[in-house]
Amino acid sequence: MPKLLKTEIKNQIVYLRKHGYSIPEIGQILKITKTSAYRYAKDIPILQEFQQRLADRRNASKIMSERNWEYAHAEAIKLIDGLTSRERKLIACSLYWAEGNKKDFSFTNTDSSMIAIFMDILRTEFSIKDENFTISIRTYEDLDKQKCIDFWSVITKIDLRDNVSINVLSGKKSGKLKYGMCRVRIKKGGLMLKKIFAINKLVHNIISPHSSMDRMRHS
């Protein structure tokens, strides 16, 4: 249940909003969350003489956001200036550490970029052939099954029209999961799974040698 604010705080929210203060500004000034500020300010009309102030603030925030994105992009280019084979392998291992199955080699996600990157690295750095991949798709009742198959065929670079397992779940997800989920498996992937666990365990021991690795399987 949302925490109720004191009458004094609510009155201050009303005053600030009427005078053209944005939701983030109100939250910062009154030391409350943006959610609380929005809850009490969303229906407060802004006085005519202060509407330009809010418009200026929003425009300034947009300009600042665009500048920050430009800066972030420039920094990213400097950082990712050609990835080595070793770095690409570590990326794949990190992705699997976060999203992969711990009992058998199985990587599932709704993020098509993640699936594409993961499979590309498996192909180029671990020499996994297309015939060794097993792809399955999880969809929902309100999703177009054929569109999902076509979409994941493009992402995985494998023709899935007659070569995919589809699990249709009950419920509606079209607003959240337009193409469902894709699961990537490797036939006889036990050795590959052990390689990834071994790499991730070494990374852990180097970076954080004193914390627990109870969830990391190794044999």
Q: What is the pLDDT of residues 62-105, one digit of tens each?
A: 888 888 989 899 988 888 878 899 999 999 999 999 999 999 99
Contact 132, 102 (CB under 8 A): no
Prediction pTM value: 0.69
160 vs 79, which has greater pLDDT?
A: 160
What pLDDT is attached to residue 5? 81
What pLDDT is attached to residue 97? 95
Residue 37 to residue 201: CA distance in whole angstroms: 44
The backbone torsions φ and ψ at residue 184, rounded to the nearest 5 degrees and listed phi first, read -110, 125
Q: What is the pLDDT of residues 192-211, one digit of tens each?
A: 999 999 999 999 999 888 76
The backbone torsions φ and ψ at residue 181, rounded to the nearest 5 degrees and listed phi first, read -120, 150
Residues 6 or more apart in contact with residue 110 via CB below 8 angstroms = 177, 179, 180, 181, 182
What pLDDT is attached to residue 219? 46
Segments making up each domain of the chain, as ranges: 7-77, 85-207
Residues 6 or more apart in contact with residue 87 via CB below 8 angstroms = none
Q: What is the number of other CB atoms lying within 10 angstroms of the CB of residue 146?
A: 9
What pLDDT is attached to residue 2? 55
Q: Tokens for 127?
A: 């020499």
The answer on pLDDT for 216 being more than 60 is no
Q: What is the pLDDT of residues 42-69, one digit of tens each?
A: 899 999 998 898 888 888 888 888 889 8
CA angle in degrees (0–180, nearest 5) for 191-192-194 = 65
Helical residues (DSSP H) of the chain, grouped into ranges: 7-18, 23-30, 34-41, 51-79, 85-99, 112-126, 145-156, 190-207
Contact 53, 38 (CB under 8 A): no
What pLDDT is attached to residue 55? 87
